[in-house]
Chain A
């Protein structure tokens, strides 16, 4: 909605606003809190939808019996074995309504209540090897973050700088070469970056260990290669995307005005263009910040990082349905938080956006 305030108006006016606009700062707390509450209430139906969807996917498309048969193998499957499998995992209950129980247990002693609804209080239950999923998640977040956060920050700086460079030299051979490089980098499989990077840096040059992880400062040698590979792998698509954003902005009137005032091209780019391109950049960037906790499936599994990404991939390979369900819910929860953060970030860079 806020985008429609008038894209024509953007430019000269907003370029001169400061981040810490005093009149704006005073109005934050109350409005912000009310806004946050409202947004959280909006987010609830989405999470309920996700919950219902995963429930349908995991328990309605296939019955627990089917899952048991699949996991136990076709040969040695007996009704008793299936019952035992279901009992161990708590799948031996009715889906929605338990007619055998009384009172509130009619609703709570069911698969839906115990496996799906309990996720809203972040109670994910137990994995197939009997460990608490919630505790596992809490332990594994830090290693994931140790890779994902530096990759994200370093990547953002490098991608935006590269895109600004291409914008500065737009419509020259340098720009063309940059775009060509981006398309080439985009066309390479992410698996290649990881396998190739591991091979060259770890195996040929012996600079860092091939895989492993360690907390604290000693872990530096383990995380540096995954971070570099993560950044390189994203250069192509991200830089090109930022370049498109910048090129769209550079045709606008305020850029011409700034140039007409005699400002140097660099000042125009950094002080005016970058600031005005903030909204589209934030739209794509802020939403992924909470998801950094989830880590990257590929990187973590190749480099043996004990984070949430490798947790997920192990669960998929072991067909541990409860872990996969927990990760699906956690992922969408973080995404919804990201959406709220995005809206808040708009108000911080663009004072014309009101919390309404």
Chain B
């Protein structure tokens, strides 16, 4: 075997989350009343398109979660030696992007470096000019060919993407069982088709350009910005999702217990979340992260590679974010449980002598699910945004971990340069905007579909 699979802490937790997601999806599929609100989500064009975008991000993040350590070529007495560098399947897929690094900054699609340098040209003269990039556009003999080449490559890539998308859509439409009962139109619906084609063309063009250029330029140490932006996706997704692993059990158990048992249980839990929420969240997070750093620094034996150290810090950050953000949801759930426990069906169950545990699991919790789901999808985008801010404050992810926050932080210092180095900032903000916007739009649709307060007579018709 020429590689050794590595399961970092965050990977394991993502797999756990994924497994839980599959179980829930399977359960929902078998229960029509649970499926109904999801059908409503599926009928909203905005939701479907944003889900498509999110799915692409999830795909990149997912591939980036399968980690391994490649074997080194020189063997140590017959025993395979593995590289200390932890790579992911995604790294392998975009290997040219990762390995083609230049000397320093270069603008998007540029052929030359950002700054002038002294070097000897082919005739042996010492000149001071913008040196050509090692990889970006290296196949071109003359710089003047660039524009034409970029256009051809983009067009070819876009066409290939469109062709591929068209073929797969056609196959999907033919094979899908939903074809017959589609609601008064063609399947897939036109807006989805449109979105798929636009995205496919974009990805195709970018992909084809990326084989020969640095589509979004390079950063200070010459690393491709597109690669960094794509790698940041995993960090953002992990912060947005793993935090819920902490938030959810805490908020659910404490909130339901406070609302259902009342009395001193309620007092204690209320006291707990009032104390926690009275500390401004950034300060609490900062204090906790500072202390977490001290702990990690005094225990270097907990991790064997730099990647696992950065990863442990990421998991700890999620833990801290979760510990500081469960209070809002807990308060909501407590209020709703207080209302629910006065309902006739709960009182009936109580008078029949049904145990508290059973009442909670059978009668109370199912009626809280919509609140949980809505608040989880709403929190996701704010967590992704928070990561960038926390990294700026200095209490975010490990500086060696590629994330939107570290990208922005690195690029921010170059704002003062003339001409400005704008591409890393633009890339980070652009990717973040697309991810967060898609998440926000999807969250809105989910809320609209699940909120029982909305009148939905027309949706059933």
Interface residue ranges, A against B (CB under 8 Å): 45-46, 49-50, 53-54, 57-58, 61-62, 66-67, 69-70, 74, 183-184, 186-192, 195, 198-199, 203, 291, 294, 297-298, 312-313, 316-317, 319, 321, 324-325, 327-328, 331-332, 335-336, 339
Q: Is the CB of A324 within 8 A of B288?
A: no
Q: Is the CB of A66 within 8 A of B271?
A: no
Count of residues in B whose CB is under 8 Å from the partner chain: 43
Complex Cα distance A49/B278, Å? 10
Q: Is the CB of A298 within 8 A of B392?
A: yes
Q: Which residue of B lies closest to A71 (CB)?
A: B294
For residue B298, CB closer than 8 A to chain A, the reply is yes
Contact partners of B287 in chain A: CB under 8 A = 54, 57-58, 324-325, 328
For residue B244, CB closer than 8 A to chain A, the reply is no
Complex Cα distance A298/B254, Å? 33
Would A46 and B274 be within 8 Å (CB), given that A188-B433, A189-B432 are in contact?
yes
Q: Which residue of B lies closest to A312 (CB)?
A: B283
For residue B286, CB closer than 8 A to chain A, the reply is yes
Instruction: Tell me the B203-242 residues at the A interface (CB within 8 Å).
Output: none
Shortest beta-carbon contacts, A-B, top 7: A49-B275, A187-B437, A331-B280, A187-B436, A332-B278, A62-B294, A335-B278
Q: Is the CB of B294 within 8 A of A70?
A: yes
Q: Is the CB of B412 within 8 A of A195?
A: yes
Q: Is the CB of B433 within 8 A of A187?
A: yes
Contact partners of A49 in chain B: CB under 8 A = 271-272, 274-275
Q: Which residue of B lies closest to A324 (CB)?
A: B287
Complex Cα distance A312/B283, Å? 8
Q: Is the CB of A327 within 8 A of B283?
A: yes
Chain A nearest CB, measured from B318 CB (Å): 18
Main secondary structure of the interface of A (DSSP, over half): helix
Would A316 and B280 be within 8 Å (CB), given that A183-B440, A324-B286 are in contact?
no
Q: Is the CB of A191 within 8 A of B393?
A: no
Chain B nearest CB, measured from A66 CB (Å): 5
Complex Cα distance A332/B282, Å? 12
Contact partners of A297 in chain B: CB under 8 A = 282, 393
A-B contact pairs, 22 of them (CB 8 A): A46-B275, A49-B275, A61-B295, A62-B295, A66-B294, A69-B297, A183-B440, A187-B433, A188-B429, A188-B436, A189-B408, A191-B408, A191-B429, A199-B420, A297-B393, A316-B290, A324-B286, A324-B290, A328-B279, A328-B283, A328-B287, A332-B279
Q: Is the CB of B293 within 8 A of A70?
A: yes
Contact partners of B437 in chain A: CB under 8 A = 183-184, 187
Chain B nearest CB, measured from A304 CB (Å): 14
For residue B291, CB closer than 8 A to chain A, the reply is yes
Complex Cα distance A203/B415, Å? 10
Would A46 and B278 be within 8 Å (CB), given that A191-B408, A316-B290 are in contact?
yes
Contact partners of A195 in chain B: CB under 8 A = 408, 412, 415, 425
Instruction: Tell me the B366-391 residues at the A interface (CB within 8 Å).
Output: 381, 385, 388-389
Q: Is the CB of B283 within 8 A of A53?
A: no
Complex Cα distance A61/B287, Å? 12
Q: Which residue of A lies closest to B286 (CB)?
A: A316
Interface residue ranges, B against A (CB under 8 Å): 271-272, 274-276, 278-280, 282-284, 286-288, 290-291, 293-295, 297-298, 381, 385, 388-389, 392-395, 404, 408, 412, 415, 420, 425, 429, 432-433, 436-437, 440-441, 444
Contact partners of B283 in chain A: CB under 8 A = 312, 324, 327-328, 331
Contact partners of A339 in chain B: CB under 8 A = 278
Complex Cα distance A58/B294, Å? 10
Would A70 and B297 be within 8 Å (CB), given that A49-B271, A191-B388, A332-B278 are in contact?
yes
Q: Is the CB of A191 within 8 A of B392?
A: yes
Chain B nearest CB, measured from A75 CB (Å): 13
Complex Cα distance A331/B277, Å? 11
Residue of A66, A183, A189, A319 touching B295 (CB-CB under 8 A)? A66
Contact partners of B272 in chain A: CB under 8 A = 49
Complex Cα distance A85/B202, Å? 57
Q: Which residue of B lies closest to A53 (CB)?
A: B275
Contact partners of B290 in chain A: CB under 8 A = 316, 319, 321, 324
Complex Cα distance A190/B390, Å? 12
Q: Is the CB of B415 within 8 A of A199?
A: yes
Contacts A187-B381, A189-B388, A327-B283 given; 13 further ones with Cβ under 8 A? A49-B271, A50-B279, A57-B287, A62-B291, A70-B293, A70-B297, A187-B440, A189-B408, A195-B408, A195-B412, A195-B425, A316-B393, A339-B278
Q: Is the CB of B275 within 8 A of A186?
A: no
Q: Which residue of B lies closest to A331 (CB)?
A: B280
Contact partners of B271 in chain A: CB under 8 A = 45-46, 49
Q: Which residue of A lies closest to B300 (CB)?
A: A74
Contact partners of B381 in chain A: CB under 8 A = 186-187
Complex Cα distance A325/B284, Å? 9
